[in-house]
């Protein structure tokens, strides 16, 4: 149970709030690079800030205020130029650093006034990495965009998947350090949805949580497992500050505002050995619905949709004064304490946990990965079809509902399976 003031402290994300300022010390994935193959301007909302993301004709990405500093027109209806984004109301043009580089009327009528030199639009840095666009809303100097090890893996098909989840980000992130829910929310609920009489899956017998440089590792023993199992010896990662990393995929919970979260998944599927060498030309990005259009209920058929049901079900901003934490929640307590300590750390002028500033460190940041060998070396199609964790992936995208047919077709072609 948490007192109301602490609940507010951990969940509020606007600029000027302690947690909002802490989260602004990290790069956030906000879109897929490939979204800009067909569009050049897009409205986005991150941590309560309304912004406009664009790619100009030079190929430079920019992230600026949603509203023009002239008379507040909506910049997401602006249009790009060779350099920068132009407001569609009176044509003021801004570059990616926020400088006003043209004011068509003032430049001609009163060039001597240099009015544009006095104007700036709010602008944040954007970087492309691993097919994602990352934004940094914090103070300079910015740290580096983390170059997590899987971003450099070869022979994989990567897809980026989004969902708009109508609840606060922090309860989504608490799920990243909650191994027990896997047994109930994914295994047992799934089998019971399919068959009311089905048997439950093996129980969790032992859990462990260990903090490390880039997050918290959680480890588990279930019935029938030995302590030699990689899920106990290596475990999985609650990745700082707002992600889950399981080995083949990352899931970020990016705060849109206090009541909404952008779920961003980066999913790597190793192609069968027979398909090597495989070089992916384009990393697709797609957005899945969370509501079943027929029933009006939350979709429950896929892994992450099941998670969404839990997160949203806890209430828009869950009331932690009502909770009763058990020993399975030790990781959640650990995570909250680390955030509270890091709020104090940034007030002292220190970097918070998992900030990477050293280029050498960032050449390739290794994380605990239970099945690295399979993901790096690959399996034959025959081995994949016999592998309990992989066989299902040969048939469908299991993590989220709504995969478009063209992504499915690209995936099938990469894997060498029939669509």
Contact residues toward ligand FES (CB under 6 A) are: 68, 70-71, 73, 87, 89-92
Give me the least distance between CB of 35 and ligand FES, in Å please.
24
Give me the least distance between CB of 236 and ligand FES, in Å please.
48
Report the partner that residue 290 touches, choosing among Fe ion, ligand FES, none (CB closer than 5 to 8 A by kind): none
Report the partner that residue 70 touches, choosing among ligand FES, Fe ion, none (CB closer than 5 to 8 A by kind): ligand FES
Report the partner that residue 307 touches, choosing among ligand FES, Fe ion, none (CB closer than 5 to 8 A by kind): Fe ion
Query: Of all helices (H) and strands (E), which one includes residue 245?
Result: strand 243-245
Give me the least distance between CB of 79 and ligand FES, in Å please.
12
Closer residue to Fe ion (CB): 248 or 307: 307
Give me the least distance between CB of 115 and ligand FES, in Å please.
12
Report the partner that residue 122 touches, choosing among ligand FES, Fe ion, none (CB closer than 5 to 8 A by kind): none
Closer residue to ligand FES (CB): 71 or 114: 71
156 is written with which tokens?
């994989």
Closer residue to ligand FES (CB): 71 or 110: 71
Report the partner that residue 92 touches, choosing among ligand FES, Fe ion, none (CB closer than 5 to 8 A by kind): ligand FES
- Short-list 270, 265, 268, CA closest to 254: 265
Closer residue to ligand FES (CB): 103 or 261: 103
Residue nearest Fe ion, CB atom distance: 307
Closer residue to Fe ion (CB): 21 or 307: 307
Closer residue to Fe ion (CB): 106 or 307: 307
CB under 8 Å to 369, separation ≥6 — which residues?
Answer: 149, 150, 234, 247, 375
- E strand residue ranges, 280-328: 285-287
Q: What angle in degrees, to the nearest 10, is found between the helix axes of 330-347 and 4-11?
A: 70
CB under 8 Å to 206, separation ≥6 — which residues?
Answer: 220, 221, 232
CA 277, CA 281: separation in Å to the nearest integer? 13
Closer residue to ligand FES (CB): 73 or 283: 73
CB under 8 Å to 307, separation ≥6 — which residues?
Answer: 172, 175, 181, 185
Report the partner that residue 334 touches, choosing among Fe ion, ligand FES, none (CB closer than 5 to 8 A by kind): none
Terminal CA-to-CA distance of the chain, rounded, Å? 49
Report the partner that residue 273 touches, choosing among ligand FES, Fe ion, none (CB closer than 5 to 8 A by kind): none
Give me the least distance between CB of 303 and Fe ion, in Å please.
6
**Footprint on this chain of Fe ion (rule: CB under 5 A):** 307
DSSP 86: E
Give me the least distance between CB of 59 and ligand FES, in Å please.
24
Q: Is residue 279 classed as helix, strand or coil in its secondary structure?
A: coil
Question: Contact, 14 vs 258, CB < 8 A?
Answer: yes
- Short-list 90, 81, 139, CA closest to 116: 90
């Amino acid at each position: 149970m948490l007192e109301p003031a602490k609940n507010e402290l951990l969940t509020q994300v606007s600029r000027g709030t302690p947690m909002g300022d802490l989260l602004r010390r990290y790069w956030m994935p906000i879109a897929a690079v490939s979204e800009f193959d067909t569009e050049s301007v897009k409205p986005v909302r991150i941590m309560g800030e309304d912004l406009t993301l664009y790619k100009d004709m030079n190929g430079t990405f920019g992230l600026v205020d949603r509203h023009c500093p002239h008379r507040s027109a909506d910049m997401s209806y602006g249009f790009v130029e060779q350099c920068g984004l132009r407001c569609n109301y009176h044509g003021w043009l801004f570059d990616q650093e926020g400088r006003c580089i043209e004011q068509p009327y003032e430049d001609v009528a009163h060039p001597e006034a240099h009015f544009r030199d006095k104007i700036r639009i709010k602008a944040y840095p954007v970087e492309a990495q691993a097919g994602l666009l990352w934004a940094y809303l914090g103070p300079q100097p910015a740290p580096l965009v983390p170059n997590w090890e899987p971003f450099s893996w070869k022979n994989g098909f990567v897809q980026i998947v989004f969902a708009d989840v109508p609840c606060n980000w922090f309860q989504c992130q608490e799920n990243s350090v909650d191994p027990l829910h896997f047994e109930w929310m994914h295994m047992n609920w799934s089998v019971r949805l399919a068959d009311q009489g089905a048997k439950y899956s093996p129980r969790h017998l032992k859990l462990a949580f260990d903090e490390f440089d880039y997050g918290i590792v959680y480890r588990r023993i279930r019935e029938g497992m030995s302590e030699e199992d990689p899920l106990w010896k290596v475990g999985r990662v609650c990745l700082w500050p707002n992600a889950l990393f399981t080995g083949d995929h990352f899931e970020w919970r990016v705060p849109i505002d206090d009541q909404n979260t952008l779920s961003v998944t980066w999913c790597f599927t190793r192609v069968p050995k027979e398909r090597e060498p495989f070089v992916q030309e384009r990393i697709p990005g797609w957005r899945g619905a969370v509501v079943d259009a027929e029933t009006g209920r939350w979709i429950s058929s896929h892994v992450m949709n099941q998670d969404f049901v839990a997160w949203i079900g806890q209430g828009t901003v869950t009331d932690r004064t009502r909770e009763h934490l058990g020993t399975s929640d030790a990781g959640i307590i650990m995570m909250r304490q680390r955030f509270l300590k890091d709020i104090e750390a940034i007030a002292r002028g220190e970097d918070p946990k998992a900030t990477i500033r050293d280029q050498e460190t960032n050449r390739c940041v290794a994380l605990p990965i239970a099945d690295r060998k399979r993901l790096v070396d690959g399996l034959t199609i025959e081995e994949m079809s016999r592998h309990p964790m992989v066989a299902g992936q040969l048939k469908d995208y299991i993590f989220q509902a709504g995969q478009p047919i063209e992504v499915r077709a690209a995936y099938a072609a990469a894997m060498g399976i029939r669509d």
